[in-house]
C-alpha cells in the first residue's frame, strides 16, 4: 500500500512540474543584443539592436525552460548612421524582406538551479540554424521599485554569418565569424 501511494505521489509531482514554471517578459529597455564583426582583418565593428522582445519560462525545480526572442533588425545601431542605413539594406540584413530575427530554444542546461547554456535556433534572413548560447552570468532578485521578481543574464555565442546568407564583403577578406553578446533582463509576469 505504501509503495502505491509513493508511486501515485511521484506521478502527481511529475505531472504538475510544469505548473511551477515561471514566465518572464523581456524588458526591452534593458535588453540589447550586441555583436562584434570583422572589418577586413584590421578592426572590429561593434553594434547592437535597440528593439528586442520575447518571453522566457523557467522551472528551476524541473531544470527546464524556454527562450523565445524577437529582434527588430531595423533597430541596428553601430553609432554611425551611414553604416546603419547600409546594414538595413539588401546587402546585409535586408529589413524590408526580413523584418525579424528570432531565437528559439530547444533545451536549457542547468547547473544546480541556474541556467548555464541554451541550445536553440537562430533565424536570420529566412535561414534557421542551431546556435548555442553560453550563459556567463544569471541572477534573479526582487526588483526594488517594481516589487516583482526580475531575472538578468549575460549570454554569448559565436556563429558564422555566411551560414545565414549574410555574405557582404567576404570577398574583400572579411571574416564571417560574429561574436554575439546579449544583456537581458526579464520581469516575472503576474
What does the domain layout of the chain look like in residue ranges? 24-188
Fold of 24-188: Lipocalin (2.40.128)
- The model's confidence at residue 20, banded by pLDDT at 50, 70 and 90, is confident
**Is residue 127 predicted with pLDDT exceeding 50?**
yes
**For position 6, what pLDDT does the model report?**
38
**For position 12, what pLDDT does the model report?**
39
Residues forming beta bridges with residue 153, ordered by sequence position? 138, 184
Angle, alpha carbons 85-88-91 (nearest 5°): 105
**Is residue 9 predicted with pLDDT exceeding 80?**
no
**For position 8, what pLDDT does the model report?**
36
**For position 59, what pLDDT does the model report?**
95
DSSP secondary structure code for residue 4 in this structure: H
pTM for the full predicted model: 0.87
- 6-15, 88-97, 174-183: which has the minimum mean pLDDT? 6-15
- Contacts by residues 89-96 (CB-CB < 8 Å, ≥ 24 positions apart): 91/168, 92/166, 92/168, 93/124, 93/125, 93/166, 94/125
C-alpha to C-alpha distances, 91 to 119, 129, 164, 168, 180, nearest whole angstrom: 29, 20, 13, 6, 20
**Is residue 64 predicted with pLDDT exceeding 70?**
yes
Amino acid at each position: 500500500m505504501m509503495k502505491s501511494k509513493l508511486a501515485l505521489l511521484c506521478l502527481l509531482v511529475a505531472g504538475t512540474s510544469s505548473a511551477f514554471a515561471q514566465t518572464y517578459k523581456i524588458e526591452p529597455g534593458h535588453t540589447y543584443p550586441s555583436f562584434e564583426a570583422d572589418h577586413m582583418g584590421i578592426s572590429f565593428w561593434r553594434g547592437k539592436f535597440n528593439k528586442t522582445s520575447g518571453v522566457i519560462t523557467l522551472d528551476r525545480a524541473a531544470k527546464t525552460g524556454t527562450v523565445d526572442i524577437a529582434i527588430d533588425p531595423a533597430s541596428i545601431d553601430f553609432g554611425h548612421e551611414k553604416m546603419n542605413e547600409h546594414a538595413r539594406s539588401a546587402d546585409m540584413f535586408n529589413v524590408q524582406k526580413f523584418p525579424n530575427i528570432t531565437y528559439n530554444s530547444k533545451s536549457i542546461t542547468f547547473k544546480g538551479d541556474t541556467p548555464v547554456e541554451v541550445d536553440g535556433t537562430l533565424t536570420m534572413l529566412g535561414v534557421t540554424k542551431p546556435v548555442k548560447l553560453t550563459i556567463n552570468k544569471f541572477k534573479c532578485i526582487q526588483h526594488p521599485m517594481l516589487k516583482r521578481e526580475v531575472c538578468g543574464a549575460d549570454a554569448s555565442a559565436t556563429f558564422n554569418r555566411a551560414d545565414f546568407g549574410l555574405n557582404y564583403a567576404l570577398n574583400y577578406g572579411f571574416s564571417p565569424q560574429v561574436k554575439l553578446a546579449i544583456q537581458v533582463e526579464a520581469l516575472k509576469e503576474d
